[in-house]
């Protein structure tokens, strides 16, 4: 009886955990590392590490077909910061059953590099609201596009 009760509790906890994420929410930000000089007049590169859930892939920043939705990072404007050209990794070519051409995708973990110039008048700490927009797929089945919001925090060097 005790074992049955434990099994029931485990099933309830598992189903509750699964219910918290919607279908297609398959990416998470696992880190944002700043490289460079975080000071007024300086330059930094925010290296954003993204993890894609096992069994899923995201269309790359340059999808293989125009109808596929690209993975894109956008950074909101903030006083004292200028965002440069964002650098994305090349996609991995993947043949998917049911599709005639290979896809350009991201799987596992990948990083996006965001160069940020700080003006001489920049007041630190500075927070840049950022969004990762993507479409997750399992094989040939794609889900609704998602937007994952996070912050890039630039703190003065200590």
* Residue 14 confidence class, pLDDT cut points 50, 70, 90: very low
Q: Do the domain assignments include residue 14?
A: no
The CATH number covering residue 52 comes to 2.60.40.1250
Task: Note whether 23 and 143 are within 8 A (CB).
Answer: yes
Residue 122 is predicted with a pLDDT of 95
> What is the number of alpha carbons within 13 Å of residue 48 lying toward its C-beta?
27
Q: Do the domain assignments include residue 3?
A: no
Number of domains in the chain: 1
Q: What distance separates the 2 farthest-apart alpha carbons in the chain? A: 69
Domain containing residue 86: 24-154
Q: Do the domain assignments include residue 19?
A: no
Q: Do the domain assignments include residue 28?
A: yes
User: Is the per-residue pLDDT at 4 higher than 80?
Assistant: no
Q: Do the domain assignments include residue 98?
A: yes
Q: Do the domain assignments include residue 29?
A: yes
> What is the number of alpha carbons within 13 Å of residue 131 lying toward its C-beta?
8
Q: How confident is the model over 40-56, as pLDDT tens digits?
A: 999 999 999 999 999 99
Residue 97 is predicted with a pLDDT of 83
Return the minimum-mean-pLDDT range out of 4-8, 72-76, 118-122, 151-155: 4-8
User: Is the per-residue pLDDT at 5 higher than 90?
Assistant: no
Percent of the chain predicted with pLDDT > 90? 75
Task: Please state the rounded mean pLDDT for residues 5-10.
Answer: 37
Residue 55, both tokens:
């069994």
Q: Do the domain assignments include residue 16?
A: no
Q: Do the domain assignments include residue 7?
A: no
Of 22, 39, 48, 45, which Cα lies nearest the Cα of 111? 48
């Amino acid at each position: 009886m005790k074992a049955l009760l434990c099994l029931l509790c485990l099933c309830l906890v598992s189903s509750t955990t699964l219910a918290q994420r919607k279908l297609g929410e398959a990416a998470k930000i696992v880190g944002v590392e700043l490289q460079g000089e975080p000071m007024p007049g300086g330059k930094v590169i925010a290296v954003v590490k993204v993890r894609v859930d096992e069994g899923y892939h995201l269309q790359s920043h340059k999808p293989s077909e125009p109808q596929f939705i690209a993975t894109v990072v956008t950074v909101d404007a903030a006083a004292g910061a200028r965002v440069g050209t964002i650098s994305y990794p090349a996609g991995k070519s993947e043949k998917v059953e049911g599709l005639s051409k290979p896809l350009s995708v991201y799987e596992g973990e990948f990083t996006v590099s965001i160069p940020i110039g700080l003006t001489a008048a920049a007041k630190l700490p500075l927070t840049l609201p950022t969004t990762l927009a993507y479409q997750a797929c399992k094989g040939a089945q794609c889900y609704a596009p998602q937007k994952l919001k996070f912050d890039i925090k630039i703190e003065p060097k200590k």
